[in-house]
Structure 1
Amino acid sequence: MGLKGEVGVEIEIHSPALKFFNLFVTQLHTKLHQGDWHGVGSHSVKHWTYTLGV
């Protein structure tokens, strides 16, 4: 049996823009499992991994 759903979140960030951008460049890794890389919604499946303490 599979799980199907949608996850959405909105967060407020108190950080300089360069530090926040650096997090995405160096510590957040993604893999595309299905669909278009730039797709939004149920047409794409992405796996996001955050590496803490790098």
Structure 2
Amino acid sequence: MIVTTTQTVEHRSIGEYLGQVTGQSVWEEQMAKEIMTGIASGPSESAAG
């Protein structure tokens, strides 16, 4: 059995379509701000070294 998130599989026929798969994540607002601040400020000195 091949499980995929695409609509086609090369050289194969689709035997059963199970529907759309969705996901949800909840981010704490502060965590998202910290991540964005880290991205915006660039690499740290230890990473650049």
TM-score by length of 2: 0.24
Higher RCO structure (Cα 8 Å, ≥6 apart) = 1
TM-score by length of 1: 0.23
More helix by share: 2
More strand by share: 1
Query: Looking at CA atoms only, which structure, 1 or 2, has the larger radius of gyration?
Result: 2
